[in-house]
Structure 1
Amino acid sequence: MRLRTRAAGATRALCLLAVLTTVGLLPWLSGRDPALAVLRARSAEQEPTEEALDSVRQDLGLDAGPLSLLGNWASDLLRGDLGTSWVSGTDVLPSVTAGLQVSLGLMGAAFAVAVLLACALVAPVLVRGRGSAGAWAAMAAALPEFLLATLALLVCGVWLGWLPTSGWQGPEYMVLPALALGVPAGGLLGRLVADALPAVLDERWVELWRGAGVGRRTISAAALKRVLPPLVPQFGMVAVGLTGGAVAVETVFAVPGIGRTALGAAKSQDLPLLQGSVLSLLLLGLVAGAAAALVRRRLLGPALRDAGLSLPPVRPVRTHPVIPLTLLTVLTVTIGWGLLRDPYTVDTTARLAAPSWSHPLGTDGLGRDVLARLGHGAAPTVGTAAAVCLLSLLVALALGFLPGVAAGAADIANALPPVIVGILVAAAAGPGTGGAALAVALISWPPLAAHAAALVQEVRASSFLTAQRAIGASPSWILTRHVLPSVAAPVARHALLRLPGIALALASLGFLGLGAQPPAPEWGLLLDESRAYVERAPWAALAPAVALAMLAGLAVSGAAYAQGRRNTGRGTKKRVTKRGTKRVTKHVTKEKEALVEV
């Protein structure tokens, strides 16, 4: 145990050092000559002669090697100097500080919305002792912030005119961005707590307390204290998600926060400003994770900190199959219909045409058929996600046998939202589908690796493996015939459940201009392209938005239905013996505990 802790600490330090090194070497890793961009930003009329470019490189210290560049950046960072902007020529630190203040205010308001929504979802369970967060809460948790922000902008800002849609000039400007960030986070928190509470309220101590005349309020407080410690790490990840989601939300509502600052710096190749912005976002994620660990220790108390307290098995969620089947049918028919049309035909005479029989979902700003682009965009959106999902599965299975290494690397990966990694990859390699896939793959493996590590530990401790070793079975035989088959199938199901979430993460990068590039019909890119004329042609934005929302709903409802069938044991009673049934039930219970965050 001590050796595993040391390995996790060493891996955590190495991964953090690797991230900081990547940030420090961005001017060298970009592969492009930033001197030209700086020269154009300083003087658009000056000719980019070799002498002028050499002067800029010498002024910025770009003529030195990568090690010298990294050393100078690190020494300046230790002195609190983030450098000078290549575009504006001003100090980076004031810009980062101003953006960070705005983002912290927005995240605070969003977290308040999340807590209020979570309390509303948990209250019925505490009062009645049963219930769940519901399918609608699960769908809200699965909606990406950029999609909800676009819908809020369209409905509340454009159609109804209730609230301002851009800027940061007063409290009313905070409402829509805070709702867009807080509703998915609150749905996730409320669903996690509400799904775990019924099993806690059925524990023996609750019955004893009720028999002793203890009040409902005291029992509810004790049940929450029992539920919260294992879920606090998930709360920290939600806070990290607010950090990444703020980039898209600030972009949609033109909020001058640190996320929008980082995105603008990446697109303009203002690498010193990008470095400072990314460091501040990384610091926010690390502080959120550390605060979650501290809160968990305080909730457990000194007696239980090393006890490995975990949640009781979550009750199976019963979902009628008509919900996922309906969503799947609608998506399949829509995509199939769109595949029969040409997504690249430009008809300027039909620009922003309303839905009609010739164009069932209307046309975009270039007169291209929205239905065709929606149908042809399904393959790059979901196909790339499938490739990323497979890569994450392979990495997780490999790291499942190295729990110490996986735990340390996962701490750093969990502190980096996909958008932040996407910004770094885009700054180094340029925006594109491959860069977006790499960014999502770099941080999508930790939940799968944690699941694999838990299953490997369980299988290795089983009695039948002890018997195999006693009869002389080789380690390779045990690994290939027993351990891997027992671990791979549950983790593969887990990876499949995360496929829609990976597709949504890729769509968010496309929406921010960090993924697929025009004229590719990728769903996130379609949503980004339609923002410029959302008031005149809202159907162009609603089509990809509804498709992404239905994909999220299909993921949640399909996962709930599949887990409900597995946990109730349907289809297995006739095929297994009584002893085998007990083994399946125990295995599913362990798997459900590892999947509590899904």
Structure 2
Amino acid sequence: MGRKAGALLWRAGLAALLVCGIGLLPWLSHTDPALTVLKARSADRDPTPEALAAVRDGLGLDDGPLHLLGQWLGGLPRGDAGRSWISGAEVTPAVLQAMGVSLLLMAVALVVALGTAVAVCARTLYLGAHRRLDGRPSGGSGSAVLAALPEFLTASVLATVVGVQLGWLPALGWYGPQWTVLPALALGLPAGAVLGRLLDDQLPAAFTEPWALAAAARGLPGRTIARQALRRSVPGLLPNLGLFVVGLTGGSVAVEQIFDIPGLGRGTLQAALAQDLPVLQAGTLALVLLAAAATGAARLTARLLIGPALRDGALASLHRPAPRGRTVLPLVHGALLLAVVAAGLPRDPLALDTAARLKGPSAAHPFGTDALGRDMLARVAHGALDTLLLALAITAIALTAGVLLGLAPRLSGPLVDTVNAVPPVLAALLVAALWGSGAGTPVLAVSVVAWAPLAAHTSALLRQERATVHLTATRALGAGPWYLLTSELLPAVGPPVARHALLRLPGIALALASLGFLGLGARPPSPEWGLLLAENQPYAERAPWAVLAPAGVLALLGALAVTAADGLRRPGRRPAPRPAAAPEAAPVGAR
């Protein structure tokens, strides 16, 4: 009971620290909130000393940040989050309305994500149900391409083609359930592709567990075995599913902006830009509470699915050695990516040719030109140096931090929940306010949040691995904690978490691109991929190559990451098991 109380206090303290830090943001960044609020209220009004003094007096800024923060916190028990500094309206109704919009969008996007994840795993489930798996995931690299497509690019294409040109679904606004379809597709497809790859990574071992072999020997239908294998594999992914829930709610800023959706992520971003502190603090608090609720629901679901097996140490490891195999796909994808970079590096990414504006692909310009006549191949290649190197560095840092913090779940669990409540966009704004905006802003912002999914994954896998029969036997033979950690736990958990990190590599590059797309990263004329997408998006209909070039390279990076991740497996060889040798055992969780 004492441990639970300590964890609750630790979680509450982190949430309070985050909210208080946001409340002190204007003073920490050495900016005058009165000036920002005056510009937001009336852009044409001159910031005279009298006008600024009137704003300070009306907002109570002269009383200091601590007084304002205490006043805001004091109203929360009554449901009063204050009034907006910009509009003067009450904050609580507006935030609740925005949260309702985001929750509805998140629910539909989650349905799309789960459907996509099942589609990614469909072949593995089919082969496993018919006993044709060789121990490796059978999903292709198409899911990686889908996961690497920028959400804002997918949203733009859906809005332009499906919404405007074809007129099948509404593209702008928020007036009913049908307005959720296109933005939910833009959000759910990439998230589902990542979840599907993670699930597809665990299913082969689930189909070779004793209960599955016994069920096949007894003649149980393949769909029943597949359903139980799915149930066996899901608990290890539930923490990441909880992270996706929060990410789909607060991290969908670009999609909400493209479709003009009055959601919580967009409202929080606008409040941060305008330094509307009551709205910003209330929005952040709502995200923190949502993160805590999603994490609690994920843990409860995992306990319901495999709780008794965790308690009794009756699980088998899902991370046993897989059969060795060779594939040329990583070499093909890597060679293609290297060829693009090598072909574009000798070219000048800043050379202007106004006579060649928006020219299509040709021998002189294989990827065409942009609106200023600059060579797109050169810009994509030079942008790759920055984007890929930064993404690789952030991935390595996130993997190290995620594994280390995942080994201490009591410390990292509340920290993961709190960090995950801060979308990369809001993190970038916080970083920009404290250290200034520039090329390093998105790097630091993404690094702050990138480790959280890996830490959650590490903790979930360790929890299951500690409950395996072989670990219980090894402990009974006298093995100490250090031996168990270095010889049993890390060799079993390390490869799947490393594969997860590689799967996240395109997402990290995508996050950097998204921040550049929103104007929170590098500045023109930098060829950073996010800027390339942002600069050329207005010309997508007239010159689609200007957008498809950086998007295609991002998709190629995703395919490379997934095919390379498939090779990161625990070394060793084990023969394919046969149903005839199956022991008499029941499926985990079956009654």
TM-score (norm 2): 0.80
Determine the structure 2 residue equivalent to 1:299.
305
The answer (yes or no) to whether the contact 1:4–1:403 under 8 Å persists in 2 is no
Over 3 Å counting, the alpha-carbon distance change for 1:264 and 1:350 in structure 2 is farther
1:554 pairs with 2:560:
yes
Which residue of the other structure, out of 506, 514, 521, is the alignment partner of 2:512?
506
Over 3 Å counting, the alpha-carbon distance change for 1:300 and 1:370 in structure 2 is same
CA distance in 2, matches of 1:450, 1:45: 48
1:262 pairs with 2:268:
yes
Residues 196-207 of structure 1 mapped to structure 2, 5 A cutoff: 196-207=202-213
Specify the code of the residue in structure 1 equivalent to 2:514: S
Determine the structure 1 residue equivalent to 2:281.
275
CA distance in 2, matches of 1:12, 1:307: 28
Over 3 Å counting, the alpha-carbon distance change for 1:386 and 1:197 in structure 2 is closer
Over 3 Å counting, the alpha-carbon distance change for 1:174 and 1:69 in structure 2 is same
The answer (yes or no) to whether the contact 1:240–1:415 under 8 Å persists in 2 is yes
Over 3 Å counting, the alpha-carbon distance change for 1:162 and 1:82 in structure 2 is same
Deviation at 1:555, TM superposition (A): 0.8
The answer (yes or no) to whether the contact 1:232–1:296 under 8 Å persists in 2 is yes
Deviation at 1:319, TM superposition (A): 7.6
- Report which structure shows greater RCO (CA 8 Å, sep ≥6): 2
Determine the structure 2 residue equivalent to 1:29.
28
Determine the structure 1 residue equivalent to 2:12.
13
Determine the structure 2 residue equivalent to 1:59.
58
Over 3 Å counting, the alpha-carbon distance change for 1:549 and 1:55 in structure 2 is same
Specify the code of the residue in structure 2 equivalent to 1:94: P
Specify the code of the residue in structure 2 equivalent to 1:24: G
2:303 match: secondary structure:
helix
Residues 2-401 of structure 1 mapped to structure 2, 5 A cutoff: 8-124=7-123, 125-126=125-126, 127-130=129-132, 132-153=138-159, 156-157=162-163, 162-212=168-218, 214-300=220-306, 303-304=308-309, 306-307=311-312, 312-313=318-319, 316=322, 321-392=327-398, 395-396=401-402, 399=405
Over 3 Å counting, the alpha-carbon distance change for 1:164 and 1:347 in structure 2 is farther
CA distance in 2, matches of 1:361, 1:413: 39
Specify the code of the residue in structure 2 equivalent to 1:148: T
Specify the code of the residue in structure 2 equivalent to 1:237: L
The answer (yes or no) to whether the contact 2:239–2:457 under 8 Å persists in 1 is no
How big is each residue's C-alpha offset from its partner over 1:366-424, in whole Å with a ceiling of 9 and x where there is no partner?
A: 33332222122112212333443454456457647755423442333344443343344
The answer (yes or no) to whether the contact 2:288–2:417 under 8 Å persists in 1 is no
The answer (yes or no) to whether the contact 1:25–1:69 under 8 Å persists in 2 is no
Over 3 Å counting, the alpha-carbon distance change for 1:74 and 1:435 in structure 2 is farther
How big is each residue's C-alpha offset from its partner over 1:430-460, in whole Å with a ceiling of 9 and x where there is no partner?
A: 54332222221112224555788889x999x
Gapped regions of structure 1 (runs ≥ 5): 470-474, 571-598
Over 3 Å counting, the alpha-carbon distance change for 1:313 and 1:400 in structure 2 is closer
Over 3 Å counting, the alpha-carbon distance change for 1:66 and 1:569 in structure 2 is farther
Percent pairwise identity: 50
Over 3 Å counting, the alpha-carbon distance change for 1:202 and 1:105 in structure 2 is same
Deviation at 1:257, TM superposition (A): 1.9
1:563 match: secondary structure:
coil
Gapped regions of structure 2 (runs ≥ 5): 575-591
1:519 pairs with 2:513:
no
How big is each residue's C-alpha offset from its partner over 1:143-162, in whole Å with a ceiling of 9 and x where there is no partner?
A: 45334334434554567665
Over 3 Å counting, the alpha-carbon distance change for 1:431 and 1:409 in structure 2 is same
Specify the code of the residue in structure 1 equivalent to 2:28: L
1:425 pairs with 2:424:
no
Over 3 Å counting, the alpha-carbon distance change for 1:120 and 1:17 in structure 2 is same
CA distance in 1, matches of 2:122, 2:528: 40
Over 3 Å counting, the alpha-carbon distance change for 1:160 and 1:401 in structure 2 is closer
Residues 393-542 of structure 1 mapped to structure 2, 5 A cutoff: 395-396=401-402, 399=405, 404-426=410-432, 428-446=434-452, 498-542=504-548
How big is each residue's C-alpha offset from its partner over 1:295-337, in whole Å with a ceiling of 9 and x where there is no partner?
A: 2222235x34634657522674888643222222222222223
Query: Cα RMSD between the aligned structures?
Result: 4.0
Over 3 Å counting, the alpha-carbon distance change for 1:161 and 1:542 in structure 2 is farther
How big is each residue's C-alpha offset from its partner over 1:155-199, in whole Å with a ceiling of 9 and x where there is no partner?
A: 545676654433334544332211111222332333334443332
